[in-house]
């Protein structure tokens, strides 16, 4: 007679499986991260959301009562079967039940039947002399199998009738969360012209500004701002010179765009660049205009456009 899986093993396992199943149908407001760490974080967030649901505890409580009843019934069946065993078998069964569950589980992996035992369970057909034993399926294997069935049904129901794993809904939800995060980030990183500071003295900022310039501006102003579709940014001539301060003039044009030429678009207003990024790129433009060598047509740069602003001339 086989030993039963003890209640302290199968009850917690079943409870855990129930809670896991609930993680599939409980909506959670997070964006899944990739990778192993993301997987663990995801599970923790989902479990956190699940344990807050009253219905989960109700189901777990009902399941617990049912499992305890099943356990009691099994015990009765076990006692009945035990009575029918011969004295020898009873002694063997009792001796075996003294061994801990995990030790038994572990040794069962390597345990082999005796020749007589095999004789009793051999199946009466063969192929090429190969015979089969009618071994009982291991309990852990069966449990996994049943769990797979329950998981599959729950998944299919959840997929069909709830928002769970609906990629369209997930996409919209994740985008909403990302937009909110972006908006928060922009709020924290955005500065208006009043807050903008000329940081062209800081080589690290100028370097970062250069990167932003390369990504967003060189297609029109070309390398080092020597000018192409957009004007030469290294010379003393300016089409736009509304602001008295050169740095703020550059900042304002990049943030709001050039007032009379839509080609120079409003990077700040259109949220293509945050206020802080514009501060950096404006510091870079200030730097190439005021510190680096002025590039002229002789250097392959664009001819001056607009008016020479005396106050902004390179010293």
| Sites of contact with ligand HEC (CB under 6 A) | 213, 216-217, 219-221, 229-231, 233, 238-240, 250, 253-254, 258, 260-261, 263-264, 267, 281, 285, 306
**In whole angstroms, how close is the CB of 277 to ligand HEC at the nearest point?**
8
**In whole angstroms, how close is the CB of 200 to ligand HEC at the nearest point?**
13
Helices 35-50, 7-25: inter-axial angle, 10-degree rounding: 100
What is the rounded CA–CA span in Å between residue 21 and residue 31? 20
For ligand HEC, give the closer residue by CB, 23 or 240.
Answer: 240
Nearest one of 3, 4, 43 to 23, comparing CA atoms: 43
What is the rounded CA–CA span in Å between residue 113 and residue 2? 14
**In whole angstroms, how close is the CB of 151 to ligand HEC at the nearest point?**
52
For ligand HEC, give the closer residue by CB, 60 or 309.
Answer: 309
Task: Name residue, tokens 């009945």.
Answer: 80
For ligand HEC, give the closer residue by CB, 46 or 226.
Answer: 226
**45's tokens:** 């967030």
**In whole angstroms, how close is the CB of 237 to ligand HEC at the nearest point?**
7
Read off φ and ψ for residue 39, nearest 5 degrees: -65, -45
What stretch of H or E contains 268?
A: none
For ligand HEC, give the closer residue by CB, 14 or 231.
Answer: 231
**In whole angstroms, how close is the CB of 301 to ligand HEC at the nearest point?**
13
What is the rounded CA–CA span in Å between residue 40 and residue 15? 20
For ligand HEC, give the closer residue by CB, 182 or 242.
Answer: 242
Pair 18, 151: CB distance under 8 Å: no
């Amino acid at each position: 007679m086989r030993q039963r899986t003890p209640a302290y093993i199968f009850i917690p396992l079943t409870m855990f499986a129930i809670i896991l199943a609930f993680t599939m149908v409980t909506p959670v407001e997070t964006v899944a991260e990739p990778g192993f760490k993301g997987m663990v974080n995801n599970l923790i967030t989902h479990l956190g959301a699940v344990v807050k649901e009253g219905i989960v505890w109700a189901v777990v409580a009902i399941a617990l009562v049912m499992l305890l009843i099943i356990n009691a019934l099994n015990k009765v069946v076990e006692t009945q079967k035990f009575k029918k065993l011969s004295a020898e078998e009873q002694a063997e069964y009792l001796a075996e039940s003294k061994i801990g569950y995990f030790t038994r589980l572990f040794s069962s992996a390597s345990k082999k039947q005796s020749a007589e035992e095999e004789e009793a369970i051999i199946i009466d057909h063969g192929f090429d002399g190969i015979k089969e034993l009618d071994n009982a399926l291991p309990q852990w294997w069966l449990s996994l199998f049943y769990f797979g069935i329950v998981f599959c049904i729950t998944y299919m129901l959840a997929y069909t009738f709830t928002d769970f794993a609906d990629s369209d809904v997930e996409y919209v939800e994740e985008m909403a969360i990302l937009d909110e995060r972006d908006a928060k980030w922009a709020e924290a990183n955005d500065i208006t012209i009043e807050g903008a500071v000329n940081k062209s003295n800081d080589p690290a900022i100028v370097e970062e500004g250069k990167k932003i310039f390369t990504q967003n501006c060189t297609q029109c102003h070309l390398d080092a701002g020597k000018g192409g579709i957009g004007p030469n940014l290294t010379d003393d001539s300016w089409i736009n010179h509304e602001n008295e301060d050169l740095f703020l003039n550059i900042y304002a044009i990049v943030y709001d765009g050039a007032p009379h030429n839509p080609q120079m678009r409003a990077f700040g207003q259109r949220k293509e660049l945050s206020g802080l990024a514009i501060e950096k790129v404006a510091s870079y433009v200030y730097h190439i205009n005021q510190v680096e060598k002025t590039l002229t047509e002789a250097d392959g740069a664009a001819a001056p456009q607009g008016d020479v602003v005396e106050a902004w001339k390179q010293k």
